[in-house]
Amino acid sequence: MRDDLALREGYHSPQLDVEVRLNTNEAPAPPPQAFTRQVMEAVEAVRWNRYPDRTASELRAAIGARYDRTAAEVFVANGSNEVLQTLLLAFGGPGRCAAVFEPTYALHSHIARTTGTEVVEGRRRDDFSLDLDEVQRVIDEADPDVVFLCSPNNPSGLVDPPHTVSEVLAMVEGRRTLLVMDEAYGQFAPTSAVGLIAEDVPLVVTRTFSKTWSMAAARLGYLLGPRWLVQELENVILPYHLDAMKQAAGLAALGFSDDMNARVAQVIEERGRLLEAFQDLPVTTWPSQASFFLFRPDDRDGNEVWQELVDRSILLRNCASWPGLDGCLRVTIGTPEENDRLLDALRDILL
């Protein structure tokens, strides 16, 4: 094992045997049965003795069409995490550094370090919003090769407004710096940075099929960016990395956009209902435009509340020990029945 990795722990979410699992931001409902049937038909047509389409050209073209982009502006991989890893293999590595602003998605730092990229950490404000003065300080002092922003941010759920993204882009102008906007939960938010992508702009946007498309089991993610950058990623990724079944599943999903939009609307409605109900509990919550939100018990230790919920067969994400998130727990929006069970349990524990 490399010396710089020998004592490092992997990134793992607890997978406990519980009745209500609200800890990994999975979609609460599966895709429609028609999607499953269409995927099964595609699997029957797979030529198992042949490699898949190496460039995933049909899938890339279909994704690009959703954003009025060409296939040459789309990169696909095994979940958005492999997209991030490929970006860092191409633009990070030994002698280079990536900037993150904590608290944020832990895998930005984890994947960077795994690829030998130095990580420079800035801090967000106490309300988890991005401090542009802090961003400027980190960029000036570290001159990073990659800057990560996450919008909606995970685990807080806050969205970076368009003017913030534009200002950060202005900060990296003229530098050898790539801005990576992680929009894994972008379909839940009112704004996106996709419209800022251009051939002469050092910006990429990453997204995933895991959340809004209810396809966490498939592990399919993608990136939108300049054509020249996508070509560099194609030069780095392993050949035939995206199997034929995954490509078929992605193509099938794109034919069910109305179902996806309906699921997003249902999650947003449930998020509002749940946040409103949390106002009657002795907890602090933060605004969210994602499929999850953070809360902190006012008078109880977050670790204890997490365990008492597990004892009731309900699993949340325990963020209580994460930097800047003392005592916090993260709730994935579940089905109405799961959300009601969570509320009943918290009333029993906290009131």
In a domain, 6, yes or no: no
What Rg do the C-alpha atoms of the chain give, in angstroms?
Answer: 20
Q: Do 190 and 269 lie in a common domain? A: no
Rounded mean pLDDT of 188-199?
95
Do 138 and 165 lie in a common domain? yes
Residue 320 lies inside a defined structural domain of this protein: yes
Q: Which long-range contacts (CB under 8 A, 24 or more apart) does 265-272 make?
A: 266/28, 266/29, 267/27, 267/28, 267/188, 267/291, 267/333, 268/188, 270/28, 270/333, 270/334, 270/335, 270/336, 270/339, 271/333
Of 232, 255, 278, the domain-final residue? 255
Average pLDDT over residues 184-200: 95
Report the distance separating Cα 247 and Cα 273, nearest Å.
Answer: 36
Check whether 76 has a pLDDT greater than 80.
yes
Smallest Cα–Cα separation from 168: which of 116, 100, 264?
Answer: 100
**CATH number of the structural domain spanning residue 224:** 3.40.640.10
- The pair of structure tokens assigned to 14 is 């607890």
Summary mean pLDDT of the chain: 95
- The verdict on 154 and 289 lying in the same domain is no
Burial category of 163 from C-beta neighbours within 10 Å (exposed 0-12, middle 13-18, buried 19 and up): exposed
pLDDT given at position 333: 98
Find the angle CA(250)-CA(232)-CA(147) to the nearest 5 degrees.
85
238 φ/ψ angles, rounded to the nearest 5 degrees = -65, 150
- Which one of 255, 286, 304 terminates a domain? 255
Rounded mean pLDDT, 36-51? 95
Cis peptide preceding 31, ω within 30 of 0: no
Residue 115 placed within a domain: yes
Question: CB neighbours (10 Å) of residue 3?
Answer: 6
- Measured CA to CA in angstroms, residue 226 lies from 6, 88, 232, 238, 239 at distances of 36, 16, 10, 20, 21
pLDDT given for residue 142 in this prediction:
97
Query: Is the domain of 200 the same as that of 264?
Result: no
pLDDT at 2 (0 to 100): 80
Residue 321 sits in the same domain as residue 182: no
Domain count, the chain: 2
Assess if residue 7 is contained within a domain.
no
Query: 99 and 192, same structural domain?
Result: yes
**CATH code where residue 319 lies:** 3.90.1150.10
Residue 7 has pLDDT above 60, yes or no: no
Residues 122 and 176 in one domain: yes
Domain C-terminal end among 222, 255, 288: 255
Predicted local distance difference test score (pLDDT) of residue 321: 82
Do 197 and 49 lie in one domain? The reply is yes
3 part of a folded domain:
no
> Do 166 and 277 fall into the same domain?
no
* 10 inside domain: no
**Nearest alpha-carbon partner for 80 in 107, 114, 42, 49:** 107
Q: Is the predicted pLDDT of residue 16 greater than 90, yes or no?
A: no
**Two tokens, residue 230:** 């996508």
The arithmetic mean of pLDDT across residues 179-207, rounded, is 96
Looking at the structure, do residues 204 and 302 belong to the same domain, yes or no?
Answer: no
Same domain, 315 and 239: no
Question: Which single residue is written with the structure tokens 């109305």?
Answer: 258
pTM summary value:
0.94
pLDDT of residue 70: 97
**Alpha carbon distances (Å) from 333 to 271, 272, 308, 337, 344:** 6, 10, 19, 11, 15
Cβ atoms of residues 332 and 308 within 8 Å? no
pLDDT of residue 4: 77
pLDDT at 118 over 70: yes
Percent of the chain with pLDDT over 90: 92
Q: Look up the domain containing 267 and give its range.
A: 20-30+258-350
Interval 222-281: pLDDT, tens:
999 999 999 999 999 999 999 999 999 999 999 999 999 999 999 999 999 999 999 999
Percent of the chain with pLDDT over 70: 97
Q: Would you say residue 12 has pLDDT above 80? A: no
pLDDT (tens digit, 9 = 90+) per residue, 297-326?
999 999 999 999 999 999 999 998 888 899
Same domain, 286 and 200: no
Helix, strand or coil, per DSSP, at residue 74: strand
- Report the amino acid identity of residue 32: P
Residue 221 lies in a domain: yes
pLDDT at 239: 94
In order of 11, 73, 209, the CA distances from 217 in angstroms are 18, 25, 10
CA distance 253 to 221: 13
Sequence-ordered list of residues with C-beta below 8 angstroms from that of 80, at least 6 positions apart, any chain: 182, 184, 206, 207, 208, 210, 221, 222, 223
Q: Is the peptide bond before 144 cis (omega within 30 degrees of 0)?
A: no
Alpha-carbon distance of 29 to 338, in angstroms, equals: 11
What would the pLDDT profile of 158-173 be if each residue is shown by its tens digit?
999 999 999 999 999 8
